[in-house]
């Protein structure tokens, strides 16, 4: 998944309003923040294989350190403990832990059977990516619900809070639709560096617009 992971981060603000969107989005994206770095370092492997599934040309055949369920739990626990040590905020800690692990769950739904339970272990996947229409409907609905929950939970206190958020969501949609209707990437390195660049742009941007929005008191 792509924007489905962003949907989890947006929705998490409803349950952890004091936590920055940078952290809430970094959590469900965390495995994909690690993956391009591990690919560039040679620790994990991917190949370009058009037709591997109907939705993506990538054959994600070896990524146990970033994307196995066991390591997802390890990364989630480490991220959550660091956050708790800094913020001392229970709801945010829980949201971050769940967010990281949710990545494996959503990828298990979308991928073919390439999601390992643990390094060297069996691999699973329900294969939603074999349906282009199904994948796009699921992810777009998820993003819509996630952004709706975020907007219901926060209120813009200036133009940055309003328009930077709108531009962020608009960019996600442009990237999502553009990626789907573009050709295969030119190289594995291009895929990895694009992932690094996206992280450098999108996580700080989320921190920026969230700083310009206030949590709405519940009840």
The pTM assigned to this predicted structure is: 0.95
The domain of 137 spans: 3-213
Q: Which of 83, 113, 117 is nearest to 98 (CA)?
A: 83
Q: How far apart are the first and last CA of the chain?
A: 34
Tell me whether residue 33 is in a domain: yes
Q: In this structure, is residue 143 part of a structural domain?
A: yes
Provide the greatest CA pair distance for the chain: 52
* Residue 106, pLDDT above cutoff 70: yes
Tell me what the mean pLDDT of segment 181-208 comes to.
93
The answer to whether residue 56 is domain-embedded is: yes
What share of the chain has pLDDT > 70, as a percent?
A: 99
Q: SS3 of 161, please? A: helix
Task: Specify the pLDDT at position 37.
Answer: 97
Residue 74 sits at the vertex; the CA angle it makes with 73 and 77, to the nearest 5 degrees, is: 80
Place of tokens 């450098």: 200
Q: Which of 38, 73, 2, 88 is nearest to 46 (CA)?
A: 38
Q: Provide the percentage of residues in the chain whose pLDDT is more than 90.
A: 94
- Looking at the DSSP bridge assignments, the partners of residue 154 are 215
Q: What is the pLDDT of residues 15-74, one digit of tens each?
A: 999 999 999 999 999 999 999 999 999 999 999 999 889 999 999 999 999 999 999 999
What is the Cα Rg of the chain in Å?
17
Host H or E run for residue 58:
strand 58-62
Predicted local confidence at residue 218, as pLDDT: 58
Whether residue 218 lies inside any domain: the answer is no
Rounded Cα distance between 135 and 117, Å, is 23
Residue 219 lies in a domain: no
| Helix 165-180 vs helix 3-12: crossing angle, to nearest 10 | 160
How many domains does one find in the chain?
Answer: 1
């Amino acid at each position: 998944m792509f924007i489905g992971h962003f949907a989890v981060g947006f929705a998490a603000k409803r349950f952890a309003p004091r936590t920055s969107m940078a952290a809430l989005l970094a959590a469900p994206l965390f495995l994909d923040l690690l993956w391009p770095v591990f690919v560039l370092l040679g620790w994990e492997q991917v190949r370009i294989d058009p037709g591997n599934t109907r939705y993506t040309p990538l054959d994600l055949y070896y990524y146990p350190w970033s994307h196995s369920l066991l390591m997802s739990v390890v990364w989630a626990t480490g991220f959550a403990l660091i956050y708790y040590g800094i913020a001392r905020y229970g709801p945010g800690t829980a949201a971050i832990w769940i967010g990281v692990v949710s990545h494996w769950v959503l990828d298990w739904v979308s991928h073919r059977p390439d999601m390992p339970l643990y390094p060297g272990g069996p691999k699973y996947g329900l294969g939603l990516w074999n349906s282009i229409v199904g994948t796009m409907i699921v992810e777009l609905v998820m993003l819509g619900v996630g952004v709706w929950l975020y907007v219901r939970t926060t209120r813009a206190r200036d133009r940055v809070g309003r328009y930077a958020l709108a531009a962020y969501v608009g960019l996600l949609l442009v990237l999502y639709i553009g990626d789907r209707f573009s050709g295969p990437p030119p190289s594995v390195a291009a895929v990895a560096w694009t992932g690094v660049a996206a992280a450098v742009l999108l996580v700080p941007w989320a921190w920026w617009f969230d700083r310009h929005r206030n949590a709405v008191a519940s009840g």
